[in-house]
Amino acid sequence: MSSQQALLVVFPLHLVLLFKQDLTHLHKLMYNEYFGLREAPFSIAPDPRYLFMSEQHREALAHLVYGFSSDGGFVLLTGEVGTGKTTVCRCLLEQIPDNTSIAFILNPKLTVQELLATICDEFGINHPPDNTSIKVFVDLINAYLLEAHTKGRKAILLIDEAQNLSTDVLEQLRLLTNLETNQRKLLQIILIGQPELRDKLSDPGLRQLSQRIIARYHLVALSKRDISAYISHRLSVAGVSDQLFPAAVINKLYRLTGGVPRLINVVCDRALLGTYAMNKNLVSTSTLTKAAHEVFGESRPAGLRLRRNAAVWIISSLIIAVGAVVTATYYQKGKQEPSAHEPISNKQATVYEAVKPDIIETIRGRKLNWPADQPADKSSEMAFRELFKLWGLVYQPADTVSSCTQAERSGLKCYKSLGTLPRLRNLNRPAVLKFSDDGGTVYYAVLTALSHDSARLRLGTDVINVPLKDVEASWLGEYTLLWRPPPVFTEIIRPGMQGPAVQWLETQLSLFDGTPNVPKENPEYDNDLVDRVRKFQLAKGLIPDGIVGTQTMIHLGPADGDKPTLDHMQKDG
């Protein structure tokens, strides 16, 4: 009798199956230790620490921030199941100021009366327990909102899985936003849901609600190039800097999951478990495929593989259980495991700070107004004239030639995006910002300097220094800046590319990391260069994906003196 058969006699199959869930948990404890992880990196819980900010997630968060800092109405975030909607939302909630009251509804399959009662409960509004009158609920909510306004508090209603809201409930929500002052609505509603929510809101019967949506964004699955950075990010937060998933495995993962983060998490978790069970250091494509079969329930040939590996699985589970007890005893005696609430290590903190989103602290400030003695309809022209002047250029207003076209003719590039002040501080370039004042007038101004608590703006011919919260109260989140591209410009420099763009990349990196720059006839963007780029991106607060796009190129730009920067003008001013 083999040793495996002997163990099966000692530990009956039904007993092992009875404790299958506990053994799986012990498996995970052990694979964390095996790979040097301080916690499970691929949990599907919406932990904001693990939020991977792809460009689209940054834009989604910026839309939520903009909507939150505006003066009321609806904000809409939609996306397929598992694309990160709830995690983005929770990241937003962690940043809101203390003077904000939030009603958070997770199960919106409610009648109008049930919804109103739930809103009252979430805001802490007392109401008769047997009340069924919509008017009584609405009057109580309105009274609460008015009182909150007088105390300088903001009220937010956040509804997840909002695609389940009925038409009657959506209409009632619209009516709740009717209460307003001359400056703003007293209730702001954030709707988060699946794509069906967009379809529902396009119904003609809900056009009044749709017209009140002041910011909307739709999340899609991750692209293939994002998945590698996504996995690296989650492993880094969990305490491992090594890439446990080779490039070939990443390609397979994309095909298996379609880039949906939740599916990526489940498959990667199962793949790490399988890799650990086989005593391997890296996940293989075959292990990943088996993990996906288990996750998605795909059939196997006559179940032979399951029967063949059943004994091995049982034995390994029992060994793991014993090992887990020994390991737990070891930790209790001398190697205290950090809890989920303890701060992460300096190394992990560096990685986390580098990839966490730049989020406005939305402390309400005073609205900035365009100078009354200057024409607001000329604000864009005046702003770009000043921006060009900072770069030593002359701006020529023209209906047929855009400002970005003029910049390109002078050897510069435009970068337009939606973002936050921390993002602009990181890019460190003066920028044209789009504002809206108390009267709803839209105008443009130039951000010329930025410190930790104030900004210098040029509004027309006026130059003012204002607190950051005042900028945030009026800024619509849009910005345009200029930057100088490499001599041999390409939109993106990717691993595997060759030629002058890669030579430029090596030259600029050498100024940062001190690596000797040896000119090559046909340099290649190889793995060593990818590692150098990732270190550079981490140091500059960028996503360490190893792909050189616009933001990375801006940071790699020429030395000081060839470009205007926000910090230099702050010092000079």
**Which domains, and CATH codes, for the chain?**
3-44+224-354 (no CATH), 55-219 (3.40.50.300), 376-483 (3.90.70.10), 500-557 (1.10.101.10)
Strands 154-159 and 100-105: parallel
Please give the pLDDT value at position 289: 93
Please give the pLDDT value at position 95: 66
Structure tokens at 451: 């410190």
Angle, helices 112-123 vs 134-150, to 10°: value is 30
CA-based nearest residue to 237, from 68, 94, 47, 401: 47
Please give the pLDDT value at position 288: 94
Please give the pLDDT value at position 333: 39
Please give the pLDDT value at position 516: 86
Cβ 92 vs Cβ 215: under 8 Å: no
Structure tokens at 94: 């962690």
Cβ 140 vs Cβ 125: under 8 Å: yes
H-helix or E-strand containing 444?
strand 442-450
Bridge partners of 435, per DSSP, are 443, 475
Q: 């509603």: which residue's tokens?
A: 189
Bridge partners of 73, per DSSP, are 188
Query: Taking CA 357 as the corner, what is the angle to CA 219 and CA 230, rounded to the nearest 5 degrees?
Result: 60
Cβ 89 vs Cβ 392: under 8 Å: no
Side chain identity at residue 312, one-letter code: V
Sign of the CA dihedral running 533, 537, 538, 542 = negative
Please give the pLDDT value at position 316: 46
Bridge partners of 74, per DSSP, are 189, 213
Contacts by 321-330, CB closer than 8 A, 24 or more apart: 321/22, 321/23, 321/26, 323/30, 324/26, 324/29, 324/30, 327/29, 327/30, 327/33
Q: 């702001």: which residue's tokens?
A: 188
Cβ 409 vs Cβ 422: under 8 Å: no
Within 10 angstroms of residue 193's Cβ, the number of other Cβ atoms is 22
Q: How far apart are CA 471 and CA 455, in angstroms?
A: 8
Structure tokens at 528: 């060593």
Side chain identity at residue 229, one-letter code: A
H-helix or E-strand containing 433?
strand 431-436
Cβ 218 vs Cβ 195: under 8 Å: yes
Q: How far apart are CA 532 and CA 377, in angstroms?
A: 47
Cβ 94 vs Cβ 357: under 8 Å: no
Structure tokens at 99: 């003077």
CA-based nearest residue to 349, from 103, 541, 188, 106: 541
Side chain identity at residue 45, one-letter code: A
Which residue ranges of the chain lie beneath pLDDT 50?
1-25, 299-364, 560, 572-573
Residues 53-66, buried b or exposed e (16+ Cβ, 10 A)? bbebbbbbbbbbbb
Q: How far apart are CA 16 and CA 26, in angstroms?
A: 13
Please give the pLDDT value at position 298: 52
Please give the pLDDT value at position 239: 84
Q: How far apart are CA 573 and CA 569, in angstroms?
A: 6
Within 10 angstroms of residue 201's Cβ, the number of other Cβ atoms is 22
Coil, helix or strand at residue 371: coil
